[in-house]
Chain A
Amino acid sequence: MSGAAWVIATDTKYLVSMVTAGAALGAAPTVVAVGPRDLAEAAAESGAGQVVWLEPTAGTPAEAYGPAVAALVTAAGPRLLLASSAAAARTLLGAAAAALGAATVSGAIAVEASGDKVAVKCSRLGGAVVETFEAAGPVAAVCQGYDAPAPGGAAPIESADLGQPAALTIADEHPAPGGGGLTEAERVVGFGRGIKVRADMAMVEELAAALNAAVGCTMPVADDYKWMDQYIGRSGLSIAPKLYLALGIQGSPQHTQGIRDVKVVAAINTDPEAPIFRRATYGIVADLYEVVPEILAALKS
């Protein structure tokens, strides 16, 4: 079996961190890039040893190339296959892992060679524990990651045959309704049901203005209360600001999925057990109605 890991990428999400993790097996990983030329070039600079590039025909989603990706992977027979949780990437990972007969785990945060086994460390139960899985045979993993700067360099890019794509056609594609600047904002103040009445949103907005931040909320605030049009989370928007200040937000896994790529999360919640504190960089157990005015005062000094 070839020692090197293979990474399947349909966008640049966590690409460098996956290549770095895969290198733990001793050789620079091969990246299978299914997407535009830009993606193949980003892969070439990610620290990969080589890039195998499949350029989808216009109007064909990446998932249609499952058979081609599976054939490439089985021909090489890697010990380890990695992909991000992006919809197309993990679907292709499934196609390749099934063909390879690889065991498959999710939430991978690190990989180690351990004797003749591969050990994959996975974040489980919404981040509450890390479980280590060992595989004697081939193993595939959906990765959690982080966006790291590319180390540079230029691995060779080799175009691969598209094979016989599956019958999938993109009939239409248009941008989802805008997020009111939330997805581009450098700072976001998010609030949940800890804000008691609609009039109190004025306080949140005042704080956001002082921080030069956009305002976001949890799903019940938008869907049940109808105070906002858009919300943050799995079924709403994914945001990646430098700062996310979470006010009266429980921190459900559905919500925190939308803030995975935030750099610094600060949370204020009256409940010391609130799961948001697991994702937060800074936590304050207090009544947000007492603390927010003091933050406004502190910002002025």
Chain B
Amino acid sequence: MKVVALYKWARDPEAATVRAGGVVDWGNAKMVAGDDDHAVIEVAKTLAEGGELVGLTLGDGDAAWAVARGVDVAYSVADAPYLADEATTAAIMAAAVKHIGGVDVVVIGDAEQQHPAVPGLLAGLLGWPALSAVGSASADGAKVTVERKVVGNIQTVSAGTPVVLGVAAAGEEAKPPGMMQMLQARKKPVTTLSLADLGVAADQGVTSAGTALPELEGAKMLEGSPAEVAAALVAALRSDGVL
């Protein structure tokens, strides 16, 4: 199968600093590997066995990250900015997948925390079905079989291709590549695409009217000696009727 692994297509929310009044300062934060991206590569590698594994990143995401993890061919849409409108991000991805051509499966981070609509939008724009919350997958002829966790159940779903799989990592990466692999990966060529090459624009259908601090700001902090805070907590929980 020809499999596209999408990685490093968003910024790390932890890179943002929240200033007084809720103003967000991203500094010069880059596109980084999301929590799920290492699992994306694993799933894509399994599906691409005997076929072709293509890595695709957006913006200033570093392609060596994926090459060091086993991607055969690396593409980057280098001038794709980080966008709040997930539909525009998905449109850029869809155009790149079409440009790459002949793709059977797109594997992308499920991104439930930050950009949960992107996998479904990407599938919708490609006219393909999508499955989210995928833990693992295997290829079976022209079909893929995925295992995923949905509301307390483990589900095995078989899917025809083409299909988009949203992968949720179960944890941190077990064994990141070493320094040598990273250095070698940097030597591999990356095909750079531009938005103009793909015939898409980064226009968003929403405009930000600003950020603010949330109204319910943080916890009611209990202060005093250990005995005092313990007594205050028990009293509060009793009066809330949760004890």
Contacts and interface: CB of A to CB of B under 8 A. Distances in A.
Contacts of B115: 106
Given A90-B120, A134-B206, A284-B221, A243 B237 contact: yes
Most chain A beta carbons < 10 A, residue from B120, B209, B233, B234: B120
Given A97-B87, A104-B90, A130-B212, 16 more contacts: A90-B117, A91-B132, A93-B120, A97-B121, A135-B205, A137-B205, A171-B157, A174-B153, A187-B242, A235-B170, A235-B171, A242-B242, A266-B237, A277-B221, A282-B233, A297-B227
Interface in A268-287: 277-278, 280-287
Contacts of B110: 87
B87 A104 contact: yes
A265 B242 CA distance: 10
A61 B158 CA distance: 10
Interface in A246-297: 253-254, 257, 263-267, 277-278, 280-287, 290-291, 293-295, 297
A125 B16 contact: yes
Q: Give the top 10 A-B pairs by smallest Cβ distance, nearest first.
A: A94-B120, A103-B205, A98-B124, A167-B160, A294-B230, A166-B129, A283-B219, A280-B219, A91-B120, A87-B133
Contacts of A94: 90, 117-124, 130
B196 interface: no
A105 interface: yes
Interface in B102-126: 110, 112-125
Interface string A127-162: 111111111111110100000000000000000000
A60 to B, nearest CB: 10
Nearest to A60: B157
A123 B168 CA distance: 21
Nearest to A219: B171
A91 B226 contact: no
B121 A87 contact: no
Contacts of B52: none
B231 to A, nearest CB: 5
A97 B124 contact: yes
A175 B154 contact: yes
A211 interface: yes
Contacts of B221: 277, 282-285
A264 to B, nearest CB: 5
A102 interface: yes
Interface in B195-217: 204-215
A91 B123 contact: yes
Contacts of B159: 166-169
7 contacts: A101-B87, A126-B113, A129-B211, A169-B157, A235-B168, A280-B219, A287-B226
Nearest to B24: A129
Interface residues of A, number: 94
A266 to B, nearest CB: 6
Interface stretch (B1-9, B42-50, B144-152, B181-189): B144-152
A200 interface: no
Given A97-B121, A168-B159, A130 B218 contact: no
A119 interface: yes
A124 B128 CA distance: 29
B120 A95 contact: yes
Contacts, number: 279
Given A63-B131, A130-B214, A175-B152, A169 B90 contact: no
Interface string A12-32: 000000000000000000000
Contacts of B51: none
Nearest to A138: B205
Nearest to A118: B206
B18 A169 contact: no
B224 to A, nearest CB: 9
Contacts of A135: 205-207
B210 A131 contact: yes
A97 B168 contact: no
B109 to A, nearest CB: 12
A173 interface: yes
Contacts of B242: 187, 242-243, 263-264
